[in-house]
Structure 1
C-alpha cells in the first residue's frame, strides 16, 4: 500500500477486513495465519473471513517484479474499498493514486515492448504475430498497430521503457539510430510469401535473415550489412 502516516481516528488506512503488516502482507482478523477455508487452487487461497490471497512469483527483483506486485496489491485493495463503499483516508487515497499511476506507466511500456517482440522474426524467420493478430489482441486497428510499430522503430517509445529493458540486450534495440525500411526492394515484394527464406545469420550473431532466399544475387542489394533496416513483410 505504500509508505504513509495515518492520523488516529482517520478514515480507513487499510481495507476493513484486514490489518496491514508491512507493505503487502495482510493479517486476517478472524483467521489463524495458516488456516485455509475452501482449500487452494494453484496460487489462490481462500480464507475463513471471506477474503482470498493470490501468490505472485517473480525473479526480476525489487525494481521490476516486486514493484509491480506491490502496486497491484494497492490497486486491488482500492477496488475492494470502492466497491464496498468504504471511505478511505487522504493518505491512503494519495498512495492509491500514486501506485495506480506507476502501474499504468509500467503496463504501457510492457504492452509496447510485447508488440515489438511480436513483430520480430521467430524461429521460422517470420514475425511472431501479424499486424492483424496484434490488433485483435489489443483491440486496435491493424493500421494503427503498424504506425505504432514504425514510431517505436524510429526510437519513439513509452516513457517507462527504460525501466523495463535496462541492463538487458533489448536496451540497445530500437534506438532510432538507423531508419527502418519495410519491403526494402520491389524484388522482395514480388517473391512468394510461402517461399524459402534466406536464413543466413546476421553479422551481430543475434538473428537470421528473414528476406527471401537469393536476395544477395539481386543487383545493388546491400547484403546483410544493412540487416537492421531490412524487415521483409507481405503487408
Structure 2
C-alpha cells in the first residue's frame, strides 16, 4: 500500500486530515446535521483517488503497483492512503480519533473509524487495555457495516480493508493477539462471513488452520461450523 514518501504527498494528506477534522467538529457542534455530515464524510473517504490526487500521493513506482493494477479488483480509495499515513505519522490522526470517540454512538462513526484507523490499531503501540478493547469493538462494528455496504451494492470498495484484516491480522498471530479475545472471536466470525465474497478463497485453508478454539459454549465444534454464506 502506498506511503506518503515525499513532502508533497505528506502535505496533501495533512491538508485532507484538516478537512476531516473540520467536518467532524461541525458534526459535533451541530446535532441536527450530525448524521448527514458523518455520512458525507464517510462517502468522501471512500471515494476512489482521482488522477490529480494520485499524481501527488503516489510515486511512479507505487502508481505502477496500485491495487487497481494488482489484480485484487478494488480501487485505491482515500481511506487507503490515509490509513497508511496515520500509521507512519500517528500524531497526525490524534485529533480525528478524539473527535470520533466523542461521536461513538452516532451513525457512520464506526464506519469512519474502521476505514481510517484499522492499521493504526494493530501497528501503533497502545498501552491502555480498556481503550484497546473499545477500539477493537468499534473496528469490528465498522468493518461489519462497510462490508455489508459492499454486498448490498455488489462492489468491492472495501476489499483492501478486508484483505488487511484477513492477511495481515487474522493470519498473523502476533497482531491478532493484540486485541482482546472477545474482539478476536468477533473478527474471525466476521471474516468467515465475507471471505468468499471478497474472492479470498485461496486463503480459506490457511484461515481455517488459524481459526482458534474459543472457550464459549456457543462455539463448540469445528471452525467450519461458524461460516455463514
**Structure 1 length normalisation: TM-score?**
0.22
Higher strand share: 1
Larger Rg: 1
**Structure 2 length normalisation: TM-score?**
0.23
Which structure has more relative contact order (CA 8 Å, sep 6+)? It is 2
